[in-house]
Homo-oligomer: A and B are copies of this chain.
Amino acid sequence: MSIYFNNAATTWPKPDCVARAMSDFLGSGGANLGRGTASARDLGTMDLVLECRERVARLLGGYENASPVYVTFTANVTESLNIVLKGFLKPGMRAVTTSMEHNAVTRPLRHLEKNGVELKILPCDRQGYLDPEKLAAALDAKKADLVVLSHCSNVCGSVQDLEAFAAVCRERSVRLVVDTAQTAGLIPLNAAALGLAALCFTGHKGLMGPQGMGGIVWQPEFARLCEPLVEGGTGSFSHVETQPEAMPDRFESGTGNLPGIAGLNAALKWIEERGVDAIRAHENELGSRFLAGLKKLDGLILYGLPEMVDKKRLSVFAVNFEGVDNGILAAELSSRGLETRPGLQCSPWGIGRWAVFHRGRCASVWAVSTPPLRSTKRCRSWPIHWRPYAPQSCRRNERAGKLIVPIPADTVCRDFFVRNVPRGTSATNVFRRRSGFGQVFCRNFCAVYTPFLLYSPHPCAIIRLRIK
């Protein structure tokens, strides 16, 4: 039995209704959207997609009385943010953001900066918060066209004061775009009431839907100003050779992820039945217990707000242990059934803020996100078993020089010693650089990490390859 602590990456398990709705769609529905006539199955697909848009608009506060027309679907929140940022920001414009952003915001912004968009990054404090006064001062000092920020850090769980930020932006007529990847489904949101230009969401985290679904809740005027990133067949206005202006088609070209919409729709219904506040209350309770247990550990470094304060933090925790690399720690925990996530969490700015990155002591932070909706039975088990083996056993592995994660019995393994590795590089990235490939291809590689990398005067790593 494993305990899943990686809900900030994707929630698991999903409610049973999600997979069932997807199967039902493929089996008895299955028609494409707006590419047929008006058969029962065609109408079924139209109804399904409309229903899902309506649920999103109700939950996240869609414009024009929660109209489904201004909800568009994407593959994930990263695509949503790219559509909004690249669709709106033109050379000469100025964007303001914070130092706690995910690469979903930072990478498009750095790209736009290279093409002539001015970028201002406001530093958050050591707990991951930005003071709304600082945003106001920055906007008063120099006019900006757009502010984009993450509602909650995916690293340390700090929830920004969105109401205050929205007021600051509204008063100055600056458009505000919010990345709700961690908060949608856990904190009540109302895009229209806040006057957001766009609320970007993902379906597979707090919204409990399948991976592959995300979207945007649009301010109608802002939607008109944004140029679509992807153009093509919309099943509408087909005689026009340019992308239609009509919503939601403008931002939805090609056949959409209809099974994904079926799954997200079922997940949203499940959330409606429980209520966002009840879900968060449960998560807060688990988070408090987790935090209390964490604090009893020797050598712990906790980043972010050290207490559970409702609506100030979610149960995403970033921790390190003095002298132990978090990659080793996480792999060791994984081999004992505790699933966490080591590494930079796709958020180098936030982690850089804590000066733990490139310091040579640990390459990154270790994020643990408590399961928002798991049975308490499973969660109860962790604090008891936590302390005895976590840092200690990792120190043993550290001495041995390498750490090996469980691999199937029929696998032949071979270790490779890699020299001249830049200090602070994770073993995964060592492998990537040497092989020239990005994603780790697990059939040839298993996540082995070596502390040589961090402590040796001549940085090096051992990579264990699996040969099947």
**A248–B337 CA distance with the chains assembled, in angstroms:** 29
Measured between beta carbons, the chain B residues less than 8 angstroms from A428 are 236
- CB contact list, A408-448 vs B, under 8 A: 424, 428-429, 432, 436-443, 446-447
Beta-carbon contact of B442 and A43 below 8 Å = yes
Most chain-B Cβ atoms within 10 A of its Cβ — which of A14, A32, A239? A239
Dominant secondary structure of chain A at its interface with chain B: loop
CA A178 – CA B457 in complex, angstroms? 52
Q: Which residue of chain B is the closest to A366 with respect to CB atoms?
A: B37
A22 within 8 Å of B by Cβ? yes
A232 lies within 8 A of B81 (CB): yes
The answer to whether B39 touches A441 (Cβ under 8 A) is no
Interface centre among A212, A256, A339 (most CB of B within 10 A): A212
Nearest to A429 among chain B residues (CB) is B237
Q: In the docked arrangement, what's the CA distance between A13 and B41, Å?
A: 12
Q: Write the nearest CB–CB distance from A466 to chain B, whole angstroms.
A: 10
Residue of B34, B254, B438 near A250 (CB, 8 A) is B438
Once the chains are docked, how many angstroms separate the CA of A211 from the CA of B341? 30
A118 to chain B, nearest CB (A): 16
Contact B38 A446 (CB under 8 A): yes
Q: How many copies, total? A: 2
**Contacting chain B: which of A105-113, A130-138, A187-195, A278-286?**
A105-113
> What is the CA–CA distance of A39 and B75 in the complex, to the nearest angstrom?
25
Query: Could you say which residues of chain B place their CB within 8 Å of the CB of A229?
Result: 82, 229-230
Contacts of A439 in B (CB 8 A): 33-34, 46, 49, 234-236, 248-249, 252
- The distance in angstroms between the C-alpha atoms of A27 and B81, with both chains bound, is 29
Interface residues of A in 1-34 (CB under 8 A from B): 2, 6, 9-10, 12-14, 18-20, 22-23, 26-27, 30-34
B-binding segment of A140-148, A304-312, A343-351: A343-351
B339 near A230: Cβ-Cβ < 8 Å: no
Determine whether the beta carbon of B40 is less than 8 Å from that of A82: no
Question: Residues of B contacting A235 with CB < 8 Å?
Answer: 346, 439
Would A27 and B19 be within 8 Å (CB), given that A78-B254, A438-B237, A442-B46 are in contact? yes
Q: Chain B contacts of A347 at CB under 8 A?
A: 233, 238
Which chain A residues (72-96) contact chain B, with CB distance < 8 Å? 75-79, 81-82
- A233 to chain B: closest residue by CB: B346
Given contacts A14-B26, A46-B441, contact A258 B211 (CB under 8 A): yes
Whole-angstrom CA separation of A204 from B259 in the bound complex: 11
B256 touches A211 (CB 8 A): yes
List residues of chain B with CB within 8 A of the CB of A23: 19-20, 22-23
Distance in angstroms between the alpha carbons of A363 and B440 in the assembled complex: 51
Let me know if B231 and A442 touch, CB within 8 A.
no
B441 touches A242 (CB 8 A): no
Q: In the complex, which residues 226-282 of chain A have their Cβ closer than 8 Å to any Cβ of chain B?
A: 229-244, 246-250, 252-260, 263
Q: Does A102 contact B (CB under 8 A)?
A: yes
Q: Is the CB of B26 within 8 A of A104?
A: no
Interface: A153 (CB within 8 A): no
Q: How far is the CB of A200 from chain B (nearest CB, A)?
A: 11
Q: Does the CB pair B232–A334 fall under 8 Å? A: no
Q: A236-B438, A438-B247 are in contact. Are A242 and B110 (CB under 8 A)?
A: yes
Q: Closest CB-CB distance, A243 to chain B, in whole Å? A: 5
Contact B341 A432 (CB under 8 A): no
Binding site for B on A (CB under 8 A): 2, 6, 9-10, 12-14, 18-20, 22-23, 26-27, 30-43, 46-47, 49-50, 68-69, 75-79, 81-82, 102-108, 110-111, 202, 204, 210-214, 229-244, 246-250, 252-260, 263, 330-331, 333-334, 337, 339-348, 357, 364, 405-406, 424, 428-429, 432, 436-443, 446-447
Q: Given A37-B447, A69-B437, A103-B231, 17 more contacts at CB 8 Å?
A: A9-B35, A14-B30, A19-B23, A26-B263, A39-B334, A46-B440, A46-B443, A47-B443, A69-B441, A82-B230, A104-B254, A210-B257, A213-B257, A234-B438, A247-B437, A248-B437, A259-B260
A-B contact pairs, 30 of them (CB 8 A): A10-B31, A18-B26, A19-B27, A31-B339, A33-B439, A36-B334, A36-B341, A37-B333, A37-B339, A39-B334, A43-B446, A46-B440, A50-B442, A76-B255, A76-B256, A78-B232, A102-B232, A107-B233, A110-B241, A210-B258, A211-B256, A212-B255, A212-B260, A233-B347, A234-B346, A235-B346, A238-B364, A244-B438, A246-B437, A259-B259
